[in-house]
A and B are shown apart, each in its own frame.
Chain A
């Protein structure tokens, strides 16, 4: 089975930094994805890690440690529009198994 854990909720202030952790125990691993989902909308792709280390894309960065079964998504210079749910997903072959998502609320 797949076990993917991430915090349920986080709150941060506009302009600040927030780190969303994701731990996983899965029967296989072909990469870890982060998706953003605004309320009532579709998930949209943010980042992808297949090797250990940090991937940076503008204000968003994602880190992976395969030996520890651990990833995090770092959101810098938070903006109000970053208020959303962030989903961690592990790929096995072509299947994605999603965590329950972390709801981030950005306050002024």
Chain B
């Protein structure tokens, strides 16, 4: 079975540019989560969706961050404009109901 698929795996861009991260959850999963992982702050939940509807975005750091889930098989996380402090590994995870979350391989983002 295909797991959670994220793209790109690596992204290097200059500050001020728009960054778009993509995620395809496991088919049939009704929950989708976006996390950010840094050495300083560990693994933090940014936002999660249930049946394509955003439920809790309290972890989104500021208005520069936005996330969408237009359908059950696709979600995006955008940063505009990007800043060096946004450099991190961004993970997408999905789950079926209260079952354990399955993580994608992550996007390693570097903002210069």
Contact = CB atoms under 8 A, between A and B. Distances in A.
Interface stretch (A17-25, A40-48, A69-77): A40-48
A42 B100 contact: no
A42 B105 contact: yes
Contacts, number: 38
Contact of B100 (A48, A95, A98, A99): A48
Contact of B104 (A42, A45, A101): A42
B109 to A, nearest CB: 14
Majority-rule SS of B interface residues: strand
B103 A96 contact: no
Given A42-B91, A43-B91, A98 B42 contact: yes
Contact of A101 (B33, B42, B103): B42
Interface stretch (B17-25, B48-56, B60-68, B80-88): B48-56
A42 B33 CA distance: 14
Contact of A43 (B31, B55, B103): B103
B48 A42 contact: no
Nearest to B44: A98
A41 B42 contact: no
Nearest to A94: B31
Q: Considering the complex of A and B, which 6 residue pairs feature the smallest CB-CB distances, nearest first? A: A42-B103, A45-B100, A98-B43, A100-B42, A43-B103, A42-B105
